[in-house]
Amino acid sequence: NGAAKPDPACKMVDVAPLDTATAQHISFLDNIKYIDNFTTSKAGACFVRPKFVGRAPESMALLVTENPYFAYALTAQTFYPTQTNSGISEHAHIAKSAVIGKNCSIGHGAVIDEGVVIGDDCRIGANCTVSHTIMGSRVRLHRGVHIGQDGFGFAPSAKGILKVPQLGRVMIGDDVEIGSGTCIDRGAGPDTIIGAGTKIDNLVQIAHNVQIGRGAVIVAHAGISGSTHIGDGAVSAGQVGIAGH
């Protein structure tokens, strides 16, 4: 930062928030709301955008980047690599016709139904249920995710409400992550599709026939109605509701 001359051989032992970091921690500044924490931080090094360089403490080594949060994520992954798969729990219920890829982890109480296909290196948390699904590789389902149940399909008439058979599947691409309590319904005829790299938060409802592109982000409490199409990279913030079709 011009004033300080940090030692490039200094050893960092961990990552930490700006307000609790010490001289052996790496931190980051991404949101201007935390600029006061940045100016008084004791962090030994910090990822920061060029425009904030002049606000840094003199003792701080600056790692200048246009995307501090992404750089921090890479660093945090180095300190805390993904846990190795712990195998398939003896308390999981897996149908004989299900196909499970290599190096998968399936937690206690999970139910994998007939005909499900799961790719390599997937992690399925405790109490998840998966049916009528073809899943790619490196997919992560957090605890209590439910995939492949019937969509909400009913035909009203003067004589009452008639259930419409749900005949489709759920197709999940590689590198998808789905948060706890989220439900993704099988298609009514066409499939429900979750594109590769998409990240879905906790407590999200995705209805039948929805098609989500690659690398989309859907935040908690969002509700996506049936036959909605969401493009690549689209972001749906918390509690967003999207009408059908």
Listing from the earlier edge strand, what are the strands of the sheet with 133-135? 99-100, 117-118, 133-135, 170-172, 192-194, 211-212, 229-230
Q: Which two tokens stand for residue 183?
A: 């439900």
What does the CA dihedral 40, 41, 46, 51 come to, rounded to 10 degrees? -20
User: In 10 A of CB 49, how many CB atoms?
Assistant: 15
221 catalytically annotated:
no
Q: Which of 91, 146, 208, 229 is catalytic?
A: 208
How far apart CA 221 and CA 206 sit, in angstroms, is: 11
- Separation in Å, CA 217 to CA 71, 138, 168, 204, 233: 19, 17, 24, 11, 7
Active site residues: 208
